[in-house]
Amino acid sequence: MTESISLWPLIGIAVIVLGFILRFNPVLVVICAGIVTGLAAQMPLLTILEKMGAGFLSTRNLPFILLLPLAVIGLLERNGLKEAAQKWITKIERSTTGRLLMVYLLIRELTAALGLTSLGGHPQMVRPLLAPMAEGSAEKNYGPLPPAVRYRIQAMAAATDNVGLFFGEDIFVAFGAVLFMHNFMVESAGLQTEPLHIALWGIPTACFAFIVHSVRLARLDHHLRRELANTARDHQGGVQ
């Protein structure tokens, strides 16, 4: 006879969803969800508070580790990091926005495949360096950018980082998703396989993703060339 499992502790998930929908303070929502989950699991209130306190003490240095790089990046931006990146990219003769992002996509996939996932990212790479360089490359070729075009370039820079990381890290044999698939195949499906074998099959997918996104970046160059040329023509006609 199998022992029944109570699903009432899962009500904490509903508390989190409801709290975020109502836009309550995230810290308050998580604390309430923890208390509700503990009570649903029939844990004493003192035990719940004890476990929450132990969890806080074990991770109290985590916010410092996360916030310190952001402070450093903000200080670099304040002292001209964005302007320096835009000035440097304008010195490259044949650079375009699409070509620059293609190079970054290749580097991002290769480094992620080696497990170096922290070398890129939106806060530390896309916002202070990649997006300004992509904008500077477009400004070098076409002049001042309209706000809509600038936002499009920023969005494509962020998407390039996402694609490179997502498909590159699947090649890394110690990546959590690879190990999860290995355990699922062995324990649930009974299929004998190795994590290295699963990771190697991520290479064709990463190559295909690189080709598809590179085509999108080439189309971005074509779109910029067409749209900004029309904008410049209309502006000259208005001046005349």
Report the chain (240 residues): mean pLDDT per 10 consecutive residues.
69 89 85 90 87 72 59 69 72 84 94 86 86 89 88 94 92 75 71 79 92 96 85 52
What is the rounded CA–CA span in Å between residue 135 and residue 89?
9
Helix/strand/coil (H/E/C) assignment for every residue in the chain: CCCCCCCHHHHHHHHHHHHHHCCCCHHHHHHHHHHHHHHHCCCCHHHHHHHHHHHHHHCCCHHHHHHHHHHHHHHHHHCCHHHHHHHHHCCCCCCCHHHHHHHHHHHHHHHHHCCCHHHCCHHHHHHHHHHHHHHHHHHHHHCCCCHHHHHHHHHHHHHHHHHHHHHHHHHCCCCHHHHHHHHHHHHHCCCCCCHHHHHHCHHHHHHHHHHHHHHHHHHHHHHHHHHHHHHHHHHHHHHC
Q: 130 to each of 10, 40, 94, 168, how far by Cα in Å?
A: 41, 47, 17, 18
Q: Are 7 and 37 in contact (CB under 8 A)?
A: no
Annotated domain spans of the chain: 8-59, 76-239
Sign of CA dihedral 54, 57, 66, 17: positive
The pLDDT of residue 207 is 95
Q: In which residue are the tokens 């189309």 written?
A: 219
* CA end-to-end span of the chain: 88
Count, residues in the chain: 240
**pLDDT score at 212:** 96
- Check residue 188 and give its pLDDT: 67
